[in-house]
């Protein structure tokens, strides 16, 4: 699993020109899933996300987690995070999981994050044409990949 996390002051996802989900202070997370991903990847990544200290404390130091500030999460499935650009000019998405593998993992990831965060999160819609807007706070943007845990 590969993610791009952005600390936001606001974010929203629109599908067919209607808001599907929106958040204020929190995290916008773009999630890419590949065939070899599993429950272990979900556990590792979800623990990292809810405990990642990237919000400012009273001294302006990034020392607080999403849980500490009571922030929200907007999770968007994005297969293009697994684009390979080694050959030619058209990216290959061969590493991105097909829907029969990706959708159950995406749903399990949502459930795990909600359980660890203690509240529902906002989501996009798997496979939909989504328009995602955000105000990146900082800016703070962090990339993680479960294949690079060590």
Active site residues: 80
Q: Please give the Cα distance from 113 to 130 (Å, whole number).
A: 21
Token digits of residue 94:
């061969």
Q: Please give the Cα distance from 130 to 87 (Å, whole number).
A: 28
- Pairing of the two strands 72-77 and 2-15: unpaired
Q: Please give the Cα distance from 81 to 5 (Å, whole number).
A: 12
Cα dihedral 51, 55, 58, 61 sign: positive
Token digits of residue 33:
């899933």
């Amino acid at each position: 699993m590969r993610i791009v996390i952005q600390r936001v002051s606001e974010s929203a996802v629109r599908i067919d020109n209607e808001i599907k989900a929106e958040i204020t202070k929190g995290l916008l997370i773009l999630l890419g899933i590949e065939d070899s991903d599993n429950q272990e990847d979900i556990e590792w990544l979800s623990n990292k996300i809810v405990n990642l200290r990237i919000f400012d404390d009273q001294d302006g130091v990034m020392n607080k987690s999403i849980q500490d500030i009571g922030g929200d999460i907007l999770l968007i499935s994005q297969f293009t995070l697994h684009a390979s650009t080694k050959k030619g000019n058209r990216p290959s998405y061969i590493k991105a999981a097909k829907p029969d593998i990706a959708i159950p993992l995406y749903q399990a990831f949502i459930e795990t994050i909600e359980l660890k965060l203690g509240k529902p999160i906002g989501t996009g819609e798997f496979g939909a044409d989504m328009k995602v807007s955000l105000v990146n706070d900082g800016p703070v943007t962090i990339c993680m990949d479960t294949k690079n845990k060590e």
